[in-house]
Structure 1
């Protein structure tokens, strides 16, 4: 299923923007897509950890977005 999320790349000077993609992607793939969309070249930290701001959780990069319970409207901060 396609979801619309808000991605926060302020830790990498990428800003905040909305993204529409499939929830079957892993968190790592979502981070790669977001970084490519914004042209971020700053070094990525190991593990591709992401914080789900509105659910107050932190998840690793190997888990799919569907398994994390990410839905349309969630805000994700790339750590």
Structure 2
């Protein structure tokens, strides 16, 4: 999947990851019992990051993630921070 990001300068993706880390850090402090999900996508003009509260039996992402045109990163607040 990382190969799909090869047209980026690195700044857009890096900024998206920094934002996700910061939001997750605050989330884990304020709401450790709930899981927050981050979805990041990138294209030649920038990056978009969306956050969702994880709820059982609620799907907010298409089942066929490979069918997306833009590269997509999905992670949640239970994961370790990006380095």
Q: Tell me if both proteins adopt one fold, taking TM over 0.5 as the criterion.
A: no
Which structure has more strand as a fraction of its residues?
1
For normalisation by structure 2, the TM-score amounts to 0.26
Bigger radius of gyration: 2
More helix by share: 2
Question: TM-score, normalising length from structure 1?
Answer: 0.26
